[in-house]
Amino acid sequence: MLGHNPALVDLVGDPQAFFQDGLGRHWPEQCQTLPHHWQQGLPGKGLIRVHVSALDDKGGLLFYLQPVVDPHGSVLDLLAHPIFVQCPDGSLLAYNRSFADFMSTSQPLLGTPCDQLFCQDWHQGLDQGRDALLAGSGLPPGRVTSPDGKLWWVQKRLLTQDGQAIALISEMWDMTRQLQMEAELSGDRGDKLTGLSSREEFLQQLEDQAHVAKRIKMKMGLMLLDLKNFQQINDDFGHQVGDALLKAVSQRVRQTLRETDVLARLEGDRFAIMAVHLNNSEAMAQVHHKLALAFEKPFELDGKPVPLGFRAGVAIYPDDAEKADTLFNNAELALHQLKKDGGEVRFYDERIDAMVRLTRELGRDLRGAAERGEFFLRFQPIVSAYGNKLLGVESLVRWQHPKHGMLVPQEFVYIAEHVGLITELGSHVLDLLNQELHRWLDYGIYNLCMTVNISPQQLRTPELFDKTRELLAELGGPDQFDMELELNEAAIHNDGQRYAQQLHDLKKLGIRLSIDEFGSINGALNNLTKLPIDTIKIDRHFIAKLGRDPDAETLVKAIIRLGKDLGIRTSAVGVEELEQLNFLRNERCDQVQGFAVSEPMSGEDFITWYHNFNLVRGGIQP
Is residue 248 over pLDDT 70?
A: yes
**Residue 310, φ and ψ in degrees, nearest 5:** -150, 160
Mean pLDDT across the chain: 78
Q: Are 192 and 254 in contact (CB under 8 A)?
A: no
Mind listing the pLDDT tens digit for each residue in 299-333?
887 778 888 899 999 999 999 999 999 999 999 98
Rounded to two decimals, the pTM is 0.56
The DSSP H or E segment spanning 27 is: strand 26-28
Amino acid at 266: L
190-348 CATH fold: Alpha-Beta Plaits (3.30.70)
Return the pLDDT at 70: 33
Question: What does 526-547 look like in DSSP terms, one character per residue?
Answer: HHHHHS---EEEEPHHHHHTTT
Return the pLDDT at 300: 85
Q: Are 30 and 51 in contact (CB under 8 A)?
A: yes
Quick one: average pLDDT of 203-231?
Answer: 87
Return the pLDDT at 144: 62
- Beta bridge partners, 316, equal 221
Return the percentage of the chain with pLDDT > 90, whole number. Answer: 38
Task: State the Cα–Cα distance between residues 218 and 279, nearest whole angstrom.
Answer: 6
359-610 CATH fold: TIM Barrel (3.20.20)
Task: State the Cα–Cα distance between residues 273 and 266, nearest whole angstrom.
Answer: 10
Return the pLDDT at 324: 93
Return the pLDDT at 520: 61
Confidence of residue 56 (pLDDT cuts 50, 70, 90): very low
For the CA atoms of 409, 412, 415, 416, the dihedral, rounded to the nearest 10 degrees, stands at -70
- DSSP helix/strand/coil, 514: strand
Return the pLDDT at 488: 83
* CA 565 to each of CA 371, 529, 591: distance values in angstroms, whole numbers, following the listed order: 47, 11, 17
Q: How many CB atoms lie within 10 A of CB 13?
A: 13
Quick one: average pLDDT of 280-288?
Answer: 89
Task: State the Cα–Cα distance between residues 192 and 183, nearest whole angstrom.
Answer: 9
Confidence of residue 217 (pLDDT cuts 50, 70, 90): confident
Name which residue leads in pLDDT, 37 or 205.
Answer: 205
Mind listing the pLDDT tens digit for each residue in 380-410?
999 998 867 999 999 999 999 999 999 999 8
Return the pLDDT at 220: 93
Is residue 498 over pLDDT 80?
A: no
Return the pLDDT at 371: 95
* CA 209 to each of CA 113, 120, 191, 222, 463: distance values in angstroms, whole numbers, following the listed order: 20, 9, 20, 11, 49
Confidence of residue 94 (pLDDT cuts 50, 70, 90): confident
Task: State the Cα–Cα distance between residues 273 and 324, nearest whole angstrom.
Answer: 13
Task: Please confirm whether the linkage preceding 147 is cis (ω < 30° from 0).
Answer: no
Quick one: average pLDDT of 564-588?
Answer: 93
Confidence of residue 587 (pLDDT cuts 50, 70, 90): very high
Return the pLDDT at 350: 81
The count of residues in the chain is: 622
Is residue 14 over pLDDT 80?
A: no
Confidence of residue 592 (pLDDT cuts 50, 70, 90): very high
Return the pLDDT at 522: 53
Quick one: average pLDDT of 285-292?
Answer: 93
Q: Where are the domains of the chain?
A: 18-175, 190-348, 359-610
Confidence of residue 182 (pLDDT cuts 50, 70, 90): low
From the list 274, 356, 357, 352, the residue with the least C-alpha distance to 316 is: 274
18-175 CATH fold: Beta-Lactamase (3.30.450)
Number of alpha carbons in the 13 Å side-chain half-sphere of residue 87: 14
From the list 144, 177, 143, 345, the residue with the least C-alpha distance to 259 is: 177
Task: State the Cα–Cα distance between residues 81 and 114, nearest whole angstrom.
Answer: 18
Question: What does 418-459 look like in DSSP terms, one character per residue?
Answer: HTT-HHHHHHHHHHHHHHHHHHHHHTT--SEEEEEE--GGGG
Alpha-carbon dihedral sign for residues 350, 352, 354, 357: negative
Mind listing the pLDDT tens digit for each residue in 540-570?
889 999 999 999 999 999 999 999 999 999 9
| Weakest-pLDDT range from 13-17, 255-259, 436-440 | 13-17
Return the percentage of the chain with pLDDT > 70, whole number. Answer: 73
- Beta bridge partners, 256, equal none
Confidence of residue 358 (pLDDT cuts 50, 70, 90): confident
| Weakest-pLDDT range from 233-247, 260-274, 431-445, 586-600 | 233-247
